[in-house]
Chain A
């Protein structure tokens, strides 16, 4: 969660049209030639940059290599010896996926079951709210908007005990329902803020034209605004997806039973109980990472756009 109103003015470099892109690229080239003098002394600069890039990549790379090594080699030698003494196996992945004591297949499914409604529901609700804040004039609108925005600062931890009490009273505890509900609630303030920023940018003339044609708010929302907001939706959907998929706290508190656990909770437990079994942990970690990584790499430009428009939550 964040308060980052001033990030809104940052340029959104990702949504250039194709023509602009070409000229931007050319401009970049010119600038590069012209700027050779003004940059930090070049060989040193690129040296440090490459060093940092390697430093940032080594940890992930090491575990990735490890996940393909036979268990006996993992135990007796470091992953960097792999290149001198290669031995590749996929057994670690097979074992991590179905192993009876720590099989991750079921938890993987739980993650999906948790993540789909927990993305869909808050986005739909936030879209409606953002529309009302942007385009329906009513008394107390600004106050309500600021109030909702300000509630972003309530840490999740503060809400857990009272929410748990409510869920217990309703008889819903330890099921998927509290997980969906809480993820929805925690997502709303940021989602409303972010989508409202995009919603406001739609030219008033378009909305006015639809209103003159006799459309009510519901029709304007679905026919005029929704199609224009697809990029914003993508940006927030990715945030929410990564956030829910990678969440540990909400899952631990509201769905502690082994049958409901998502993959993060299973991995955290595996790390605690089988800390030494690196063949399971390494393969398991990459099974858990692969979905968010694919989403992230495939939709990176939307993700960055969301980041620049509304900050991230943490």
Chain B
């Protein structure tokens, strides 16, 4: 059975994949066949349709969310026996550890300077990316609306959405590439600096601005999303409102500010919150561009570093960071739901 878990060759991997798909189809077919027979009670039909999903979500999302919250409140300590000495594990010969309840993880996350820096960086990400991306997306959507070549213009800005964040990071690392002024530059931005008579700059390394240059990458990706949704909202502004405004003499910028912006407000809220949540969890960009070094780490990245690269002590801190992530998201969601209600009541 080893090949099922650790396939080595190309053929093995493909066979394992096909096996997984066939296994899934077989199980689901069996369930559906069972509930399709006559005189099956309604509750069994419901269980057949919803059972697998409910089970997967309960085990895969609900239980882990509770487990991580619990773990964030525990620290790993050397276990002390009744005689006051550390307990030695007879099998490994090492001191055994036990988990005790404590708020230490949270205290560390909020008081140690390097974690405070992480929280500060995360705040910049969560505020700047949605605001800047939405602003660019809105301006661009308005500018290209009903112009010739609208489709192409939109596709160009939308394209980064299809590129993975890893790919985008590599693309931008190349933009930021630094060479000493005595060599020809190969990074475009440093070449631009030289063209306008400045010295080349270490975009990725120099604190504190490097965090903002990483944020640029996320803005570059998310603007396309903002533009698409807002463009659809702009097109949905009823014609009679526009005509009425035209009769009243509204033109150009006035039209944009007084008619367009208020009409697309609900869509803008959705865009802002969606991007904010995406930025909060952005891990790939920081991981690929700096690995969290040079003071650029964010909560999502620090979580990974702590949990998987710092041993037992890190797991608790990682859990606390994950919970912090969770807690920051909640107000965003609440705000979003409120806005949804308001826009529904207005209708």
The residues of A with any CB-CB pair to B shorter than 8 Å are 1-7, 10-11, 13, 28, 31-32, 35, 37-41, 45-46, 48-49, 52-53, 56-60, 62-63, 66, 74-80, 106, 109-110, 113, 116-117, 120-121, 124-126, 128-129, 131-133, 136, 138, 144, 148, 151, 153-163, 165-166, 171-172, 174-177, 180-182, 184-186, 188-189, 192, 216-219, 242, 245-249, 252-253, 259, 264, 267-268, 271-272, 275, 278, 281-282, 284-285, 288-289, 292-293, 295-297, 300, 304, 307-308, 311-314
Contact = CB atoms under 8 A, between A and B. Distances in A.
B188 A13 contact: no
Contacts of B62: 151, 154
7 contacts: A49-B147, A56-B156, A56-B223, A113-B17, A189-B57, A295-B162, A308-B228
B339 A6 contact: yes
Interface string B178-211: 0000001111100100000000000000000000
B236 A136 contact: no
Contacts of B232: 10-11, 13, 308
Interface of B: 4-8, 10, 13-14, 16-17, 20-21, 24, 28, 32, 35-36, 38, 40, 42-43, 45-46, 48-50, 52-54, 56-57, 59-65, 67-69, 71, 136, 139-140, 142-144, 146-147, 153, 155-157, 159-167, 169-175, 177, 184-188, 191, 220, 223, 225, 228-229, 232-233, 235-236, 242, 246, 250-253, 255-256, 266-267, 269-270, 273-275, 277-284, 287-289, 291, 300, 303-304, 307-308, 315, 318-319, 321-323, 325-326, 329-330, 333, 336-337, 339-340, 343-344
B155 A300 contact: yes
Nearest to B274: A2
- B-side interface mostly: helix
B160 A49 contact: no
A125 B53 contact: yes
A257 B280 CA distance: 27
Given A57-B156, A157-B325, A38 B281 contact: no
A60 B174 CA distance: 10
B167 A267 contact: yes
A297 B191 CA distance: 32
B43 A271 contact: no
A156 B57 CA distance: 12
Contacts of A242: 161-162
B333 A10 contact: no
A272 B187 CA distance: 17
Contacts of B184: 76-78
B274 A249 contact: no
B336 to A, nearest CB: 5
A63 to B, nearest CB: 5
Contacts of B59: 166, 185
B53 A128 contact: yes
Given A52-B157, A218-B32, A59 B175 contact: yes
A236 to B, nearest CB: 14
B164 A245 contact: yes
B60 A40 contact: no
A253 B308 contact: yes
A248 B53 contact: no
Contacts of A259: 6-8
A193 B275 CA distance: 19
Contacts of B175: 58-59, 62
Contacts of A307: 225, 228-229
Given A38-B251, A56-B156, A264-B164, A158 B322 contact: yes
Contacts of A176: 7, 13, 16-17, 20
Nearest to B254: A38
A60 B159 contact: yes
Given A129-B54, A248-B288, A271-B166, 5 more contacts: A10-B267, A56-B160, A138-B43, A158-B323, A289-B164
Select the residue from A5, A53, A109, A157 with max chain B CB neighbours within 10 A: A157
A10 B21 CA distance: 36
Contacts of B177: 278
B35 A218 contact: yes
Contact of B277 (A1, A117, A188): A1
Nearest to B42: A138
Contacts of A267: 166-167, 170, 288
A155 B64 CA distance: 11
B53 A192 contact: yes
Contacts of A284: 170
A32 B166 contact: no
Given A49-B140, A185-B57, A154 B65 contact: yes
B162 A292 contact: yes
- Which of A62, A163, A218 is packed against the most chain B CB atoms within 10 Å? A218
Contacts of B322: 155, 157-158, 160-161
A259 to B, nearest CB: 7
Contacts of A62: 171, 174-175, 188
Given A11-B232, A155-B322, A296-B162, A161 B64 contact: yes
Contacts of B308: 252-253
A248 B166 CA distance: 8
A173 to B, nearest CB: 9
A312 B267 CA distance: 13
B167 A285 contact: yes
B288 to A, nearest CB: 5
Given A39-B252, A282-B174, A158 B325 contact: yes
B163 to A, nearest CB: 5
Contacts of B5: 171-172, 175, 177
